[in-house]
Structure 1
Amino acid sequence: MVKHTKPDFALLKLPSLHAIRTFVAAARYQNFTRAAEALCVSQAAVSRQIRDLEEDLGTELFLRAGRSVELTSAGSLLFDTVQLSLGNISRTTERIRGKSGAKKTITLCCSPAFARFWLAPRLRGFITQNTDIDVNIITTHSFFSLDPGLTPDFFITKWKRVHDGYTSQPIFSDVIYPVCSPGYLEENPDANNLNGILNGSLLNLTHHGRSQVDEHVDWNLWFAYQNADIKERPADAIQLLTNDYGTIIDLALDHQGVALGWNYLVAPLIEKGLLMRPVRESMALSDTLHFLSMRDDLTEDECSLRLHAWVLEQVRQMEESVLNR
C-alpha cells in the first residue's frame, strides 16, 4: 500500500515567491510603475500582485499617496526579512551558476577618476588572464547612497567602512604634485618653478558633488602646504575650475594649464610622456588612505579572491615603480 505524504502546511502557507519578488521591487523603488519597469511587467500586474499578497496576509503593506507608496509597519517588517532572504538566494544561485560553467560577474564600485585613470589601463591584463570572469564597474561619488538593489562585491574608496558586511584593508596613500603637458611647459617656461606655476594658468578642482570622495585638496591648500599664498596671484591670471577630475586632466593634456596630480592617477600618463612634473615639490598625505573592501560572504569565492589578489598585485607594482623612478 502506497503511503502518501501528509500536506506540509508550513510550505503551503508561504506567500508566492513571485508576489514576494514584486513586493521587494515596489518597496525598493517606492513606486509601482518603477517596480514594473524593473521587473519588465505592467504596472497593473504589480498592483495585482501586491493586492493579492495583502489579502493573503490580511494587512496593508503600503500606504498609497498618489504615484508614490510608503511601507506600513507590517510592510517594513516583511521587507527587512525577505530582502535578506532574497539576497541569500540570489548569491547562492549565482554561485551554483558559476560552478555550472557560466561566467562569473564581479561588481566593483569606485570613483569615476579611479576607474578611468587607475583601473581601466590595467584591466585588460586581468580580463585576458581570467576569461571566466566578467567585471562590472560601477562609478559614483555617492558611495553611501547607491541605487536600490545594488550590492557591489568590492569597493575601492577612501572610506574604511562604506557599508556593513564588508572587510577593508588599506592599499595606498595620496601623494599630490603639479603636472602639465610638455607643450604647456614649452610655451610657459616659467612654470618650472613654484612662483611661475602660481602666476600661470591653474586648473583647479572644486568640491561640489564630491563630498563622499575624499577630503578636498585644491591649489589653495596645496600652495599653503608649500608656504605660498594663492592670493598673491596676479588679478589677470587664468584659472579654470571644474568638479570633475577627468576634465581637469583633459585640460592639462590640451596644454591649457597646470593641474594637481594624484600620483596613483597620473603616474601612467607621466610614464607615457603625456604629462610631466614641472617641479619636484609634492604634498604627501600619509594619513589619507585608500581602502579595498570586499563583501564578507565572498571569502571562499575563488573568482572574487582572484580579483582581490590582482588589485593588491597592481598596487604593489605601482609602488615599486614609484620607488624606482
Structure 2
Amino acid sequence: MRLPSLTHLRCFESAARHQSFTAAGEELGLTQSAVSKKVKELESDLGFDLFQRVGRGVVLTPAGQGLAADLELDLAGLRATLQKAAAAGAGRSALRIAVLPAFANLWLIPRLPDFFDRHPEVELSFSTRLEPFDFARENFDLAVHYGLDNWPGTHMAPLFGEEMVPVCAPGFYAAHQLELAANLAQAPLLHLDSRAGSWAEWFERAGLAGSPRQDGRYFDQHSMVIAAAAAGLGAAIVPYDMVAREITAGDLLRIPGPVLESRKRYFLVRPHGPVPEAVQKLEVWMRKQLRTRPD
C-alpha cells in the first residue's frame, strides 16, 4: 500500500478528534471544504469510508475509530522523533516525559529552571498520561506514576510517598483562629472530588468531635484545591510535597494536626534496557531535589 501524505493524515486525525471538519480546519488553518476534500481523498486511497455523513455532521465508522486511535499515537511519536532530531542537530538531547498534571504543575515545573541551568544541553517535553501505558507503543523516555509498584516491564524508582496535610492562607488562618484545630469544625473546607472523605478521616485522626462540614467547595484537581486555598476560599488537605515551597515562603500555613499517609507513592518510571545519558542526568537531578526537600 502506498503511504498517504502527512497532510491527509493530519486532516483526518484532527477531524476525528473534533468530530468536525470545520473545527479541524480552524485548527490546521484550512477551510472546511479543504479538510473534507483531503479526507475524501484519503478514503479513496484506503478503499473504505472513515466517516459517515449524518445530516450536517460526521461520525466515525468503526474502521475510522480504529485508525484515529492508532494515528493519534503515531503522529505524537513522529513529533517526538522530529523533536529529538532537531535537538540533536543543535547538539542537545531531547526527552519526552509522561506526567500527571498535579505533579507537573505543582512539583516539577517550578523546579525546572534549576535543571536547565545545570543541563542546558537537555530539552524536555511533557504530555499528560493518567494511567500506565506500553513504552514500546508510545514514544516516551520516562513517566511519572502515582500508585503502587505494579507497572509491568518497567523500572520504577520511588520518589516520595503522599503525606496529606491541612493548609490555608495566612488571612484565613487568622480569621478562623486555626491555631486551635477544633475551629475547623466551623470553617469553610475545600474538597477534592476523588477524595471526598479526607476531611472526615483527618477529623477522626485528630480526635475532633463531630463531622466536618460538607457544604464547602469541590474541585477535581489538586492544583485547583491548592489555588483555592491560597486565595483564602477555605482550608484544604493536600499532598505536603505539592505545597512545601508555598509553606516555606509563607503563602500557605500548615494547620496543626495529624498527617494522613497513603500506601501509594510517586514513581519515576522508564522501560528496561540501556539508560540514555540524558535520562540519567534527569534522574540524578530529581533525586537531589528530594534530598533538599523542606521540612
Q: Does the CA-based 8 Å contact 2:188-2:216 persist in structure 1?
A: yes
Correspondence for 2:260 among 272, 277, 283: 283
Aligned to 2:38: 49
Alignment partner of 1:222 is 2:209:
no
Distance 1:77 1:256 in 2: 45
> In the alignment, is residue 70 of structure 1 matched against residue 60 of structure 2?
yes
CA distance in 1 between counterparts of 2:38 and 2:272 reads 32
1:241 aligns with 2:227: no
Give me the whole-angstrom Cα distance separating, in 1, the residues matched to 2:272 and 2:38. 32
Taking a change above 3 Å as real, the CA distance of residues 60 and 187 of structure 1, as seen in their structure-2 partners, is closer
TM-score of the pair, normalised by structure 1: 0.67
**Take 2:288 and 2:281, find their aligned partners in 1: how far apart are those partners?**
10
Structure 2 counterpart of 1:307: 282
Kept after mapping to 2: 8 A contact 1:160/1:169: no
Instruction: Give 1:92 deviation, angstroms.
Output: 3.1
Contact residue 155 and residue 272 of structure 2 kept, 8 A? no
Q: Tell me the equivalent position of 1:123.
A: 112
Q: Which amino acid aligns with 2:179?
A: N
Q: Compared with structure 1, are the counterparts of its residues 174 and 86 closer, same or farther at alpha carbon in structure 2 (3 Å cutoff)?
A: closer
| Long gaps (5+) in structure 1 | 1-9, 145-149
User: Which amino acid is 2:165 matched to?
Assistant: Y
* Deviating more after overlay: 245-254 vs 59-68: 245-254
The residue aligned with 1:175 is 163
Alignment match, 2:246? 269
Change (3 A) 1:151 1:127: same
Contact 1:175/1:262 (8 A) holds in 2: yes
* Within-5 A mapping of 1:1-325: 13-65=2-54, 66-73=56-63, 75=64, 78-79=67-68, 86-101=75-90, 104=94, 106=96, 108-112=98-102, 114-136=103-125, 143=130, 155-159=143-147, 168-181=156-169, 186=174, 189=177, 191-198=178-185, 200-207=186-193, 211=194, 215-231=195-211, 240-243=216-219, 245-246=222-223, 248-249=225-226, 252-253=229-230, 258-285=235-262, 287-294=263-270, 296=271, 301-318=276-293, 321-322=294-295
Tell me, in whole angstroms, the C-alpha distance in 2 between the residues paired with 1:297 and 1:43: 45
Please state whether the residue corresponding to 1:49 is helix, strand or coil. helix
**In structure 1, distance between residues paired with 2:144 and 2:251:** 26
Normalised by the size of structure 2, how large is the TM-score? 0.73
- Structure 1 residue 100, shift from structure 2 partner: 0.6
Compare 170-179 and 21-30 and name the one that shifted more: 21-30
Q: Deviation string for 1:6-55 (max 9, x for gaps)?
A: xxxx7xx4444433343333334333223333332222222222222333
Equivalents in 1 of 2:50, 2:203: separation in Å? 57
> Once the 2 structures are TM-superposed, how far is the Cα of residue 185 of structure 1 from its aligned partner?
5.0
State the Cα distance separating 1:180 from its structure 2 match.
Answer: 4.1
Report the structure number with the largest CA radius of gyration: 1
Instruction: State percent identity of aligned pairs.
Output: 26
Give the Cα separation in 1 of the matches to 2:152 and 2:24: 25
- Equivalent pairs, count: 286
Q: 1-side partners of 2:276 and 2:28: how far apart? A: 28
Q: AA paired with 1:306?
A: K
Q: Is the 8 A contact 1:179 1:275 kept in 2?
A: yes
Q: CA RMSD in A?
A: 4.1
